[in-house]
Amino acid sequence: MDRRDLLRAQRELLTQHLRLESPRPEHARSVLESVNVSLPGLRFVEWAQQTVDHVWADAFSQRGAHFVAKGEALIFYAFDRNDGTFVGIVDLHSFDFSVPCCQIGYVGDARRAGRGLMREAALAVIDLGFALGLRRVEAWCDVRNARSIRFAECLAMQREGVRRSTERDAQGSLCDPLVLSRVRPGSEPAR
């Protein structure tokens, strides 16, 4: 697997309840509304610490489209197939093609929480990553972010350990990320 696989990857995925699309300019309004309504639950998300405006949302969607177009990330905005409402964002980023592995990120819209839609979106994106050749997907969650850790575990990710004082949180303080991972079935090394 290499960057060319990311460049050839699907830009739209359909699941039972969702349509996942790579970022486009017309998604900016959905992102704007979602971030602003979800702010109280986004304490650990660096880019979601204050109310955002149209300029920010436009730039955010353009930046995401740019990362996808350059083969640096796979980013999907999830929408409910029934009513078209925005569900959240799932991305695969920080690729190490020598393994190959990457990290997953996820931010759901607070108005859609509790229905399993973000889980459905994240599993679809993980499956795409495995189909492209990934051997492992990691989630790095601040140890204080119990909600994100529970979500990673509902994606069948296993706890591996804590990396002490290796990242900064959204407020700029050193924090300890818990690393969880999911390995593609059948790709574990012989022991």
DSSP for the chain? --HHHHHHS-SEEE-SSEEEE---GGGHHHHHHHHHHHGGG-TT-TT-SS---HHHHHHHHHHHHHHHHTTS-EEEEEEETTT--EEEEEEEEEEETTTTEEEEEEEE-GGGTTSSHHHHHHHHHHHHHHHHT-SEEEEEEETT-HHHHHHHHHTT-EEEEE-TT-EE-TTS-EE-EEEEEEE-TT-SPP-
CATH number, domain of 49, equals: 3.40.630.30
> Would you say residue 116 lies in a domain?
yes
pLDDT in tens, the chain (191 residues): 999 999 999 999 999 999 999 999 999 999 999 999 998 887 777 777 788 899 999 999 999 999 999 999 999 999 999 999 999 999 999 999 999 999 999 999 999 999 999 999 999 999 999 999 999 999 999 999 899 999 999 999 999 998 887 777 777 777 788 999 999 988 776 66
Q: How many domains does the chain have?
A: 1
> Would you say residue 151 lies in a domain?
no
> Would you say residue 168 lies in a domain?
no
> Would you say residue 45 lies in a domain?
yes
Q: What pLDDT, on the 0 to 100 scale, is given for residue 170?
A: 72
* pTM metric for this prediction: 0.92
Q: What pLDDT, on the 0 to 100 scale, is given for residue 190?
A: 63
> Would you say residue 139 lies in a domain?
no
> Would you say residue 150 lies in a domain?
no
- State which residues form the domain around 57: 3-134
